[in-house]
Amino acid sequence: MTRLVAPLDATERAAFIAEARTYLRVPFRHTGRSRLGVDCVGLVAVALAKVGREVADRRDYGRDPVRDGLRQVLVDHFGDPITDEAKPGDVALMRWHEADGVPLFNHVGILTDYPLGGLALLHALHSNREVVEHRLAEPWTRRVVEVWRP
């Protein structure tokens, strides 16, 4: 599928990550899009908007990612998932659960560079009630199923 916008260049990728990091410790809020509260989709949307990349943001989703089509939104906006090695600034789609053998894609995060090497994950995490960044290690590596290059 053809993507709607050109990929971020190196400067834009760095600015995207830097902006997303300014949201660290901002409270998690379902469908939130501000520093008062943000969810995982909102974090990606507000950080991309700050670097001049408007996205087809939606706030009409519930908590059923299959019905709400989170994966399809990523495909519609960024095109097909990447097949090469993930790098900082990429957006990861994660599977949290499966229902009747069908994966439930219900979480996204921004890949960043981990200070001691490798990748980290920056995301608005409901269970922590805030935006967090941590090394991309188990169980997170197992949850990441596809990656897009914004």
Q: Is the confidence at residue 67, as pLDDT, over 60?
A: no
Task: Find the angle CA(21)-CA(23)-CA(24) to the nearest 5 degrees.
Answer: 70
Q: What is the mean pLDDT of residues 138-148?
A: 92
CATH 3.40.30.10 describes domain 10-148: no
Chain center to CA of 43:
7
For residues 88 and 120, what is the distance between their CA atoms, to the nearest angstrom?
8
For the entire predicted model, the pTM comes to 0.89
Give the largest CA-CA distance in the chain.
43
| pLDDT tens digits for range 88-136 | 999 999 887 666 666 566 789 999 999 899 999 999 998 899 999 999 9
Q: Is the confidence at residue 65, as pLDDT, over 50?
A: no
For residues 65 and 105, what is the distance between their CA atoms, to the nearest angstrom?
6
Who has greater pLDDT, 69 or 51? 51
